[in-house]
Amino acid sequence: MAQTLDTVFAALADPTRRAILQMLLEDDMAVTDVADPFEMSLAAISKHLNVLTNAGLITQEKRGRVKWCKLEPDAMKAASVWMQGFGQFEPVNLDAFEAFLERELGTSESPDP
């Protein structure tokens, strides 16, 4: 809910939390299922999920006795843009760029059959 650069970067600084985010990239998950692959207590995972929630990186919705975790990738936007300010490294990757152009703007150049 804070969703400042501080909270987002801090949340991303932990490998467990990054792994959780990547799992949620595939699908929404219940807390128990998020915890499953990790060798650590459920309570610990619950705390990690709180950190991610505070950073705005996920939202949690309780349906019945199960709390579903949903990825909120938009919360990375500000952090990503901040980094791009140092953008000597390619802003997105030219391939993605061209793909975007072709798809969204119809720059009929189609270099690939």
Residues numbered 44 to 103 that lie near its own copies (CB under 8 A) are 71, 73-74, 76-77, 79-89, 91-93, 96-97, 100
Q: Work out whether 13 is an interface residue with DNA (CB under 7 A).
A: yes
Kindly report the backbone phi and psi dihedral angles of residue 45, in degrees, each rounded to the nearest multiple of 5, phi listed first.
-60, -40
**DSSP letter, residue 17:** H
* Smallest separation (angstroms) from DNA to the CB of 73: 20
Q: How far is CA 43 from the centre of its chain?
A: 22
Q: Work out whether 60 is an interface residue with DNA (CB under 7 A).
A: yes
Rounded Cα distance between 65 and 6, Å, is: 32
In the shown chain, the binding pattern of residues 16 to 55 toward its own copies, with x for contact by CB under 8 A and - for none, equals --x--xx--x------------------------------
Burial class (CB in 10 A: 0-12, 13-18, 19+), 17: buried
In terms of Cα–Cα distance, which of 59, 45, 62, 60 is closest to 3?
59
The nearer residue to its own copies, 61 or 91, going by C-beta atoms, is 91
Identify what 30 binds: DNA, its own copies, none; CB under 5 to 8 Å per kind. DNA
